[in-house]
Structure 1
Amino acid sequence: MEPRSGPASRRHVPWNRLLLAVSLLTFWTPPTTAQLTIETMPPLAAEGSDVLLLAHNVAKNPLGYAWYRGERVDNSQLIGSYRVATNATTKGPAHSGRETLYPNGTLLIQSVTQEDTGFYTLLVTNDDLQTERPTGHLHVHPVLPIPVITSNNSKPWEHKDTVVLTCGPETQNTSYMWWISNQSLPKSTRLKLSEDKRTLTVVTVTRKEKGPYVCETRNPVSISRSDPFTLDVLYPVARPSLQVSNTTVPEHEGPVVLTCLTDETGVSIRWLFKGQSLLLADRMTLSSDNSTLTIDPVSREDAGAYQCEVSNRGNSSRSGPLG
């Protein structure tokens, strides 16, 4: 009798081993090489400072490096190259005299200017002759000068003139802020800022808006404030009045005190006698602010009409005559 034919025997694999194999295939991945990158340090570069373009994740045992201005490898834009085997650095046509290449691939740029703003490309040649070309960007910001406030009207009239204040100079990537009397600008329909906030318009100015004003400029690397600026707001001067201590005084006696009364501040006062500027005699004295005239003793030559005049930079006003 011939033996019964049948299927070949199969070796059974336990299910838990299959599960382990699948798990290993699922979670195991071949190691990857970290990507070569460039970091700018400091990230915000101020004009005149020193900046490093740091090369991260450089492969082991590279043959050499080369740095270029721009986003591509162009020999006319070569800053310099470094050969590891000889520890030799060769300067390129784009070298300004301020660049230094280090053996780890880092580039130092000293005393950067705004012209240094742009892209930089690093070419790394590895020991297998493969190359890597990461690109970084450097943005150099100017250190802002002290701003200056200018006005379109140096002597505006109250309730009449509109004043435009400008914070200068104008610089790119700069924000502007304003203060009045050491406070942020109040909400007012008569205070209007331009879109870039560099210009402040004061509509129909009053003495309340005379200031002082300060403007501030900011960019990513610096902050600067202007000197205070005060508007010389002109306004009509109210008519003063005269007060006298005694209108009838015997000759050679005294004193007689005349006082100029005014509610105005920041005004100057002068005295008139018979419509002309008063010439002070030895018997006459004025107070420090000229508001009081004392005559002692009195002479018949002093008889007549006295007036006082108050004035600011805009106009003046006289009292009625007394005497």
Structure 2
Amino acid sequence: MTVTDTASANAAIAAAQPGTTIRLADGVYGPLVVTDKHGTAEQRISICGARDAVVRPFPDTSNMVGAIGVKVEGSSFITLNGFTVQNAQKGVALASTSDSRVYALRVMNTSQGGIYAQTGSSDNLIAANQISHTGLDQGIPEHGIWHRDGRYGEGIYVGNSQGNDTCEPNCAPDPSDRNVIVWNTITDVTAEAIEAKEQSTGGLIYNNTVTLSSTHHAAIYSALQVKGDGYLVYGNNITSGLKYGIRSVTTQVGDRDWGYDNVFASNAITLTSAIDPAEYGFFQNYGTANAFGCDNTLSSSPSVPLVAPSTVCEP
């Protein structure tokens, strides 16, 4: 079925059954919400549209607080395909959602991140999206006070930080596992282009193209950051003005350590020192926690080492 406005789109979503395809006609839509909807592997529930079908909660970027472009919660076997999401606090948010696809969207102009997979969202595919101009600093809640902060402008964000300023000291565990992040193009975001948080495991970050040249928050050090376990980070092309191309961080949650058994291979890193002086192509805070392949490459000006001294690349 084809829908032409926000009300008809959300009504169609609420009535969707396995195999339903909802096409967004060209035009402007408010927030779309998918709650407790379940397709099957053979009959997915699909929401699709061309680039000129634009989900736009706010008319401009002056006060983008309180609305998510597309929220998918407690659902499975959902596909989002092709349309544009812009002018939102968060672009697309998967929450407690599995086996779903966020494919070939254009996500831009958000006050926080572009695409999220959180609160136990596992086995999802985030692929071939164009993500740009996140973290536009329109006000972030921290301890009940709204203030400007670009730390939350990730391109793609998996899991939840156990040190997140917005939920301390009672951040809930978030095992968002086995998510596949591939073929995305991410430019001009104010935090990491891709970040996988502690308590997430077994994801694939493959063949993404990242270009970060704009101003970042001072607490952001790398284009890609992994704090989870068992990720394969392979074949990504990174051009960044930050200290590091890829950063792996070990951290402790309760009595459990995270940030181990990740593999980083065949990534091509270019560091420009446009924002911070480049230090290393790859940095990890515990030198033997993960495997870093000798097939990773680095180009930088001025020249800096591929890895920190505590890390030895492996054939």
TM range (shorter): under 0.3
For CA contacts below 8 A with separation 6 or more, give which structure has more relative contact order: 1
Larger radius of gyration: 1
TM-score normalised by length of structure 2: 0.17
